[in-house]
Amino acid sequence: MVYKAGYLIGRSESKSKLLETARKLYSKKNTSVIQMKKMQLEFCEGVPPSREPSEGYLPILVSEEESGFNTEEYFKHLNTKKLGQVIVYSDVMSSSHNVLDGPSLLHGLTVIPRQQTQGSGRSNNVWLSPPGCAMFSMQLHIDLKSQLGKHLPLIQHIVAISIVLAVKSFNQDIDLGIKWPNDLYVNGTIKLGGIIVTSSILSTFESQMAVCNIGVGMNLDNAHPTSCLNSIFSSNPASPLLSYEQYFALVFNNLEKLMEGDFDEIYDLYYKHWLHTNVNVTIVSERGEAQQAKIIGIDDFGFLSVRSEEGYIFSVRPDGNTFDMLNGLIAPKHPTGVKTV
C-alpha cells in the first residue's frame, strides 16, 4: 500500500490557529517538521514535501485542495463551534492516532484517513481498516476542573452516544446500540464500530488540561465480513444512504452538544441505547472463582457497576478483563488480570 500526503481542510481562521501552534513546535529552525511519538508531521505551507510519505512521516499540504474528501458536503452538515473545524485528511496513512500522539496541537483537530495500515484498537489490538470503514481520530482539550474533567473516563461513553444519535438522526429505524465498554452493535449481534481513547495531562500556570485523543472506526460502506450501515439502510429501497462526509459531521455535531450538556441527560441517553440493562453475568476472579451478578449501570467513572447475588455492589474496570458481554461472561485475560473494586 502506497502512503499518501495529508491535506489540511478547514476555514482559513481555523487553519491559522493550528498553524500558529504548529510553528511553536517545529523541531528545528528553518524546518516545518513536528516530531510526534511515532510519526513526523511536516506542514507544507507553499513548499513541496521534503520527501515521500511513509509509515513514520506525513507531509500535510496546507494550500492544496483534496479531491478525495467532499469539503462542501462536510461543511454543509457541520454546525460545531470547534470540533471538526480543522481536518487532516489522507487517502492512506499508518495511523490517525499517531498523528495526534505527541505534543498537544488543537482542541477539535480531527484526522480522517480513508485507509490506514496500523489502526489501533483497545488493549493494543489492531483495528482493520478496509475501504468503506469511516475512521477518525480527534483531539479534545478538557479542563480537569470542569464537570467532564472530573469524570474523564466517561468520555468514551459520550462518544458512543454521539455516534448512535448521529446515525439515528439520519435513519431512526436502525437498531444501533452500545456494548460496554467501547463497541457499537446493530441488532444487538453484529459489531459495526469501536472506540479507543488515550489521554495525557497538560499543566500550565493557569490550569490543568486533559488532552484526550479519541479514535473511532465505523463500518459505513463495507458489507464484508459482517455488515455495514449503508447495507442495512439499503434493505429499505426508500431509505437514502449516508455519505462519508455527512456521517462525520453528524457525529461531531452531537459530540460537541453532549460535551456541553447535562450529565443526567448523558446517563439517560447511555442507558437508553446500551445493551446491558438488568443483564445477568458471570464474573470470574483472578483466582478462577465465578460468581453471578446483575448489571445495574455504570458508575461515576464509567466502570461497569454490578450487584452480586448477596446484594454487594461493585465495579468492574475494563483494564485486565475480557468481556463476552453478549454471552454474559466477564473474565481475566490473564490469571492476574482481574481488577474489581
Please compute the mean of the pLDDT values over residues 148-163 and round it to a whole number.
Answer: 94
**Judgement on whether residues 225 and 200 belong to the same structural domain of the protein:** yes
Residue ending a domain, choose from 223, 249, 273: 273
Q: Give the confidence band of 319 by pLDDT, cuts at 50, 70, 90.
A: low
Residue 340's pLDDT is what? Answer: 36
Whether residues 130 and 227 share a domain: the answer is yes
What's the rounded mean pLDDT across residues 219-247? 93
CA 223, 183, 70, 111 dihedral sign is negative
| Whether 213 and 309 share a structural domain | no
pLDDT band at 296 (very low <50, low <70, confident <90, very high): very high
What's the CATH number where 71 sits?
3.30.930.10
Residue 337 lies in a domain: no
Winning range, highest mean pLDDT, from 23-27, 65-69, 197-201, 241-245: 241-245
The yes-or-no verdict on residue 19 having pLDDT over 90 is: yes
Q: Are residues 43 and 103 in the same domain?
A: yes
Alpha carbon of 141 to those of 1, 108, 203, 209: distances in Å? 33, 8, 12, 6
| Ramachandran sector of residue 62 (left: φ over 0; alpha: ψ -120 to 50; beta: rest) | alpha
The reply to whether 41 and 180 lie within a common domain is: yes
Q: Domain of 325?
A: 280-332
Higher confidence at residue 337 or residue 168? Answer: 168
Residue whose C-alpha is closest to residue 220's, from 132, 288, 279, 154: 132
**Cα 77 from Cα 314, distance rounded (Å):** 42
State yes or no: pLDDT of 339 exceeds 50.
no
Asked whether residue 286 falls in the same domain as residue 256, the answer is no
Residue 237 confidence (pLDDT) above 50: yes
**CA gap 306, 283 in Å, rounded:** 10
The answer to whether residue 338 sits within a structural domain is no
Task: Show which of 225, 245, 273 is a domain's final residue.
Answer: 273
Report how far residue 57's alpha carbon sits from residue 176's, in angstroms, rounded to the nearest whole number: 37
Residue 309 resides in a domain:
yes
Sequence-ordered alpha helix ranges (H) in 78-154: 96-100
Instruction: Give the residue from 273, 290, 310 where a domain finishes.
Output: 273
Residues 303 and 247 in one domain: no
Q: Which three cell numbers stand for residue 90?
A: 489522507
What is the percentage of the chain residues whose pLDDT exceeds 70? 90
Q: Tell me if 21 is assigned to some domain.
A: yes
Residue 320 has a pLDDT of 54
**pLDDT of amino acid 66:** 77
Nearest to 107 by CA among 144, 80, 139: 139
CA terminus-to-terminus distance, the chain:
45
248 shares its domain with 304: no
Structural element, H or E, at residue 232: helix 229-234
User: Domain check: are 45 and 120 in the same one?
Assistant: yes
Q: Is residue 146 part of a domain?
A: yes
Q: Do the bridges between strand 119-120 and strand 126-127 make them parallel or antiparallel, or are there none, so unpaired?
A: antiparallel
Identify whether 39 is part of a domain: yes
* pTM beyond 0.95, yes or no: no
Residues 151 and 263 grouped into a single domain: yes
In this structure, the answer to whether residues 228 and 295 fall within a common structural domain is: no
* pLDDT number for residue 286: 77
pLDDT band at 323 (very low <50, low <70, confident <90, very high): low
1 in any annotated domain: no
Residue-averaged pLDDT of the chain:
89
CATH number at residue 312: 2.30.30
Total domains in the fold of the chain: 2
How far, in whole angstroms, is CA 281 from its chain's centroid? Answer: 27
Q: Residue 93: pLDDT above 90? A: yes
| pLDDT value of residue 337 | 33
The answer to whether residue 202 scores a pLDDT higher than 70 is yes
pLDDT band at residue 225 using 50, 70 and 90 as cut-offs: confident
pLDDT at 338: 34
Q: Are residues 49 and 144 in the same domain?
A: yes
Contact (Cβ atoms closer than 8 angstroms) between residue 151 and residue 302: yes
